[in-house]
């Protein structure tokens, strides 16, 4: 059988009707993780179909986590919008934090419509159900994540914020361009900031009990977001150093960060019912690790 014949045999035609993905949802059954890959990083048709599948997974299968191949701080702004905890007045404003190339991956009409749908879904959700969250898995946002950690600590513990600023000042000589930092460490022009970012993450984690005792669920979510940003800074520091040592090591670091972010999310949200997660990312991140992890 030729490849084209095989495709014709297994293909499921799409009519635009509401039952187009019935067979797919049947295959998904009770799976807790659904990974929706793509090969182009952007066509209207693909984005539209991915959003349609995701809406059905949320509405009919009870999925409550959407994790995307995007930076954590930018996605956190959208998360606050879909949860109704923001000053942004519409989805376009909530998505305006996505400024790093390629902005069109997330600031397009299909994603705007989907984000508005998600906000409406959460607004009318059954109180017994967990609201849906919107999260980023990538690690490019070194400086934005530093800013987020400092912003949290400025409110929670000004003295801890002072110590964090001192540690993170290690990056101050590079005009918020982490590639310059990575190159300088690789050629031996400066010492790495690895020790400082690890120390900052450890201190923040050691303060968890104190911070979490303050305001219940609000404190728990704010601390988790700050902790995740501190983890991201640690991983991004390692990633930007690895960039100049060979593509394989940096690629694997990035994929491991994505997996660990998903694991952290599930652990954080794990209540009486285990949360179910949808992942949007390029095929190269969602494929079989035996093929996509580089030796």
Angle at 202 between CA 294 and CA 147, to 5 degrees: 80
- DSSP-derived letter for residue 282 is E
* Residues 6 or more apart whose Cβ sits within 8 Å of residue 191: 185
Tokens of 133: 């969250």
Eight-class DSSP state of 84: T
Q: Is 175 left (phi over 0), alpha (psi -120 to 50) or beta?
A: left
Contact criterion met (CB below 8 Å) for 22 and 266: no
- Predicted pLDDT of residue 94: 97
Distance CA 78, CA 66 (A): 11
The closest alpha carbon to 231, from 191, 271, 259, belongs to 259
Position 39 scores a pLDDT of 82
Give the E-state strand segments of 6-146 in sequence order: 33-38, 65-71, 133-138
Quick one: which H or E segment has residue 280?
strand 277-282
Mean pLDDT of 35-60: 91
Q: Count other C-beta atoms under 10 Å from residue 143's C-beta.
A: 19
The side-by-side arrangement of strands in the sheet containing 33-38 is 33-38, 277-282, 65-71, 133-138
Are 24 and 12 within 8 A, CB to CB?
A: yes
Span 115-128, mean pLDDT? 95
Q: What is the pTM of this model?
A: 0.92
Determine the pLDDT at residue 289. Answer: 67
Which residue, 148, 95, 145, is CA-closest to 119?
95
Among the listed residues 91, 79, 115, the one whose alpha carbon sits nearest the alpha carbon of residue 222: 79
Q: State the pLDDT at residue 89.
A: 96
The pLDDT, as a whole number, for residue 294 is 58
- In the numeric block, which tokens belong to residue 41? 């990083």
* pLDDT tens digit sequence for 145-195: 999 999 999 999 999 999 999 999 999 988 888 999 999 998 989 999 999
How many Cα atoms occupy the beta-carbon half-sphere of 294 within 13 Å? 12
Q: Cα(first)–Cα(last) distance of the chain, in Å? A: 33
Taking alpha carbons only, the member of 175, 135, 174 closest to residue 257 is: 135
Question: Is the backbone peptide bond immediately before 102 cis, with ω within 30 degrees of 0?
Answer: yes
pLDDT tens for each residue of 189-215: 999 999 999 999 999 999 999 888 877
Q: Tell me how crowded residue 269 is: count the other CB atoms within 10 A of its CB.
A: 18
Measured between alpha carbons, how far is residue 292 from residues 136, 177, 235, 252, 284 in Å?
A: 20, 28, 19, 9, 6
| Six token digits for residue 150 | 């400092």
């Amino acid at each position: 059988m030729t490849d084209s014949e095989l495709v014709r045999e297994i293909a499921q035609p799409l009519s635009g009707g509401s039952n187009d993905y019935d067979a797919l949802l049947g295959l998904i059954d009770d799976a807790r993780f659904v990974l929706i890959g793509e090969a182009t990083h952007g066509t209207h048709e693909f984005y539209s179909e991915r959003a349609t599948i995701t809406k059905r997974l949320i509405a009919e299968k009870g999925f409550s986590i959407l994790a995307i191949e995007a930076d954590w701080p930018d996605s956190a702004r959208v998360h606050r919008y879909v949860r109704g905890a923001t000053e942004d007045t519409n989805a376009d404003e909530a998505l305006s934090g996505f400024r790093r190339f390629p902005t069109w991956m997330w600031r397009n009409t299909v994603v705007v419509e989907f984000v508005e749908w998600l906000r409406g879904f959460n607004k009318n959700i059954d109180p017994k159900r967990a609201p849906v969250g919107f999260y980023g898995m990538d690690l490019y946002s070194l400086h934005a994540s530093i800013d987020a950690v400092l912003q949290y600590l400025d409110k929670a513990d000004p003295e801890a914020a002072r110590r964090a600023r001192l540690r993170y000042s290690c990056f101050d000589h590079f005009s918020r361009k982490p590639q310059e930092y990575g190159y300088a460490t690789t050629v031996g022009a400066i010492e790495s900031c690895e020790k400082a970012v690890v120390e900052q993450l450890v201190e923040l984690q050691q303060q968890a009990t104190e911070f979490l005792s303050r305001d219940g669920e609000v404190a728990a979510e704010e601390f988790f977001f700050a902790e995740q940003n501190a983890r991201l800074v640690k991983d991004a520091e390692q990633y930007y150093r690895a960039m100049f040592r060979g593509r394989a090591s940096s690629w694997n670091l990035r994929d491991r960060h994505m997996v660990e972010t998903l694991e952290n999310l599930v652990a954080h949200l794990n209540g009486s019912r285990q949360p179910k997660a949808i992942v949007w990312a390029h095929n190269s991140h969602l494929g079989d690790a035996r093929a996509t992890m580089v030796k």
